[in-house]
């Protein structure tokens, strides 16, 4: 397989800066996902690696070899696109083996390689069918098989599951993860779907407006977001953000919100990442808490500082999304299905203190991570 190094890459389309100072190392046999909103530069990055676009500035290396001027066909890369781009007049077998035929492989070798890939992808029963006779998931597997049969150094996958329905996407992402774990391929995967990025990747690269916001293991990035963008992008529903006044006195941190004060005692129970960064706290900040880290109380609510009215309860099967409205803010909590509150009830809102994040209003940085 391959190791990829992208150094200080910029890509401009006229006056539009699609990528800015992009730096990334992808290790051999690693599955890495580029994730972010539309227009963040994910697909542009793939196109630069594949040689489908020219680099404005910077360098790209594969296994230590500079490939800036290497023709796309000489980079030993296989790319799977959002659109399957299958040949409609060819059978599944012919579609998968076509790239080998173009490269001059002998028919018996082509047949052996194609059958091996079709076995891995459970496509043997579809051998003689043409694309119009296949479902979306089957066509996706054929497109993937066409990439696998070449045994390239690097796989580039550009939103390959986006045309599938939600149930099939979940099934296919599991199949793809198992497959690439088996073949030990180096993969760069582009998606706007955070669930795909979180479940399939060894590491994720969060992008926004052509700039890398954070790189890390999925759970590490989720639990320790660098900034407001990453915190808000990862998670569904997204993290709750509340503007607060921070007042530190008498061994307490007071978060003042709508004239209520949420108190964190500065003691041994205070998380180290918060205690170690108290010096970075400012008078006005944003507190961030994920919906699963907010607890709701229906009894003795007068004893709690933050309260709100339930405006909406969304049942999603295993849990409820509960929308609570305070005087000026809508807060979402995820609770178990045994929650007995109703729309219109007043509830107390409690945070899991060890899960709180604080963000600087000036630069949006998370000041509660080390």
Calpha distance 226→286 (Å, rounded): 14
φ/ψ of residue 167, rounded to 5 = -65, -40
- What the block records as the tokens of 89 is 């007049």
Beta bridge partners of residue 31, listed in sequence order: 187
Calpha distance 22→217 (Å, rounded): 19
Beta bridge partners of residue 244, listed in sequence order: 285
List, in order, residues 6 or more apart from 227 with CB less than 8 Å away. Answer: 213, 214, 359, 363, 364, 365, 366
**What does the pLDDT profile of the chain (370 residues) look like in tens digits?**
689 999 999 999 999 999 999 999 999 999 999 999 999 999 999 999 999 999 999 999 999 999 999 999 899 898 888 777 788 999 999 999 988 888 888 989 999 998 888 888 888 888 899 999 988 878 888 888 888 888 888 999 998 887 777 777 887 788 788 888 887 889 999 998 888 999 999 999 999 999 999 999 999 999 999 999 999 999 999 999 999 999 998 889 999 988 788 888 888 888 889 988 998 899 999 999 999 999 999 988 888 888 999 999 999 988 999 999 998 789 999 999 999 999 999 999 999 988 999 999 999 999 998 7
- What the block records as the tokens of 236 is 């569904």
Of 40, 36, 48, 38, the residue nearest 17 (C-alpha): 40
Of 265, 243, 247, 253, the residue nearest 326 (C-alpha): 243
Pairing relationship of beta strands 16-26 and 240-249 according to DSSP bridges: unpaired
Domains in the chain, CATH or no CATH each: 4-225 (3.40.50.300), 240-360 (2.40.50.140)
Task: List alpha helices for the chain, DSSP H.
Answer: 42-50, 92-102, 107-120, 136-148, 166-183, 194-200, 218-223, 228-233, 272-275
């Amino acid at each position: 397989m391959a190791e990829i190094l992208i150094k200080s890459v910029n890509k401009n389309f006229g006056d539009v800066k699609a990528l800015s100072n992009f730096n990334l190392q992808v290790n051999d046999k690693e599955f890495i996902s580029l994730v972010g909103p539309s227009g963040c530069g994910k697909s542009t990055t793939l196109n630069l690696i594949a040689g489908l676009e020219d680099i404005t500035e910077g360098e790209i290396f594969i296994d230590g070899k500079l490939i800036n001027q290497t023709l796309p066909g000489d980079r030993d890369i296989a790319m799977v696109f959002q659109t399957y781009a299958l040949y409609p007049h060819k059978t599944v077998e012919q579609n998968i083996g076509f790239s080998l035929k173009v490269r001059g492989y002998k028919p018996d070798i082509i047949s052996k390689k194609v059958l091996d890939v079709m076995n891995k992808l459970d496509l043997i029963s579809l051998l003689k069918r043409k694309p119009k006779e296949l479902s979306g998931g089957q066509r996706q597997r054929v497109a993937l098989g066409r990439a696998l049969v070449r045994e390239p150094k690097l796989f580039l996958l550009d939103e390959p599951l986006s045309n599938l329905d939600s149930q099939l996407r979940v099934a296919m992402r599991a199949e793809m993860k198992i497959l690439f774990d088996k073949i030990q391929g180096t993969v760069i995967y582009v998606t706007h779907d955070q669930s795909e990025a979180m479940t399939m990747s060894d590491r994720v690269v969060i992008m926004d407006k052509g700039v890398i916001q954070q790189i890390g293991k999925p759970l590490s990035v989720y639990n320790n977001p660098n900034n407001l963008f990453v915190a808000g992008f990862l998670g569904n529903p997204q993290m709750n953000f509340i503007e607060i006044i921070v007042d530190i006195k008498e061994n307490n941190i007071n978060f003042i919100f709508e004239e209520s004060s949420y108190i964190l005692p500065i003691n041994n129970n205070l998380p180290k990442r918060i205690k170690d960064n108290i010096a970075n706290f400012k008078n006005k900040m944003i507190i961030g808490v994920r919906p699963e880290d907010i607890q709701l109380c229906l009894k003795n609510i007068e004893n709690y500082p933050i309260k709100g009215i339930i405006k909406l309860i969304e049942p999603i099967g295993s849990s409820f999304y509960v929308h609570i409205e305070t005087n000026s803010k809508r807060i979402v909590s995820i609770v178990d299905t045994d929650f007995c509150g109703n729309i219109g009830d007043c509830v107390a809102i409690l945070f899991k203190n060890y899960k709180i994040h604080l963000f600087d209003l000036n630069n949006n940085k998370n000041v509660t991570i080390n």
